[in-house]
Amino acid sequence: MARAGVAPRIEGDLAGAVDASPGAPFVAKAQTSGGSGYDADTVLAVRYGVYEDYERAVIDLGTGWEPADSVPEWTLASQEGDGLLRVTLPSAGATCVSDGEFGRGLLEGYHVVRAPGGGMFVDFFAREAFLYRVLELGDPARLVVDFKPAEEGLKVPLPAGGSNTVLVEPRPRARISDPLTVSGYSRNLGAKNTITLTDSHGKVLARRTVQSNDWNHTWGYFEATLDLPPFSGKGTLRVGTEGTRNGSSKGIEIPVWVGR
């Protein structure tokens, strides 16, 4: 099972060093990509550092359990005004770390998730809207993402998380419609995720149990589509596991709005 906890601070090769790419601009692009090849297949570590006007996250990449020479192909997705940045590594099949906390500044933490269709992705959560830049460093292979606060605030809440579950979509207080797509990742026992939507009186409107694609080695991705009955008003979306003895549940819940 991959390690979880507090992300280690950057030391040695990147601690207090002159910026690896002087003058590289911070941007708010929705998508970007880079790297080459598929030799690196392991996430060895995710490290964190605080600099004068930005914060830095470093993904250390390996071939097997040894550091790789070069950064493999990667893609990055981040919507402006969102506190989530996702780095996808199609060649990654293993990880030595699963999640961790960063600090009390801009960056909150990260999760390493087995991606649908193969590979892995690393989700970084920020407490505020941000700009970013990406640096590739080789020998050993490191993918560096620098984060800098943007002038505007978050346009959407961060994904809800707790009790071995992270709900990426929908977000808290979102307005939903039929059909409803629910996605996220978890480390629930047996990879089971029960999704339940109830109205303001507790009546069940929709319910489905789906499997995530991992739970033992790292976070496993899940996605499900629910057909909703005619309904409007406030609802509660719950995602998690159910107890086998007394009907108790463990997971997260968020308020949502259905219809107009």
Position 38, amino acid: Y
Q: Is the pLDDT of residue 142 over 60?
A: yes
The burial class, CB within 10 Å (0-12 / 13-18 / 19+), for 70 is: middle
Domains and CATH numbers, the chain: 3-149 (2.60.40), 160-258 (2.60.40.2550)
Distance CA 188, CA 88 (A): 22
The 10 Å Cβ neighbour count of residue 84 is 17
Q: Is the pLDDT of residue 21 over 90?
A: no
Picking from 10-24, 28-42, 171-185, which range would have the lowest pLDDT averaged per residue? 10-24
| pLDDT at site 56 | 97
pLDDT category at 98 given cuts 50, 70, 90 is: very high
Is the CB of residue 50 less than 8 Å from the CB of residue 96? no
What are the CA-CA distances from residue 88 to residues 8, 52, 92, 180 (Å)? 21, 28, 9, 25
Residue, of 23 and 142, whose pLDDT is higher: 142
| pLDDT at site 50 | 94
Q: Is the pLDDT of residue 260 over 70?
A: no
Cross-strand partners of 136: 143
Distance CA 238, CA 185 (A): 14
Q: Is the pLDDT of residue 248 over 70?
A: no
| pLDDT at site 18 | 43
Among 222, 219, 221, smallest CA distance to 208 is for 222
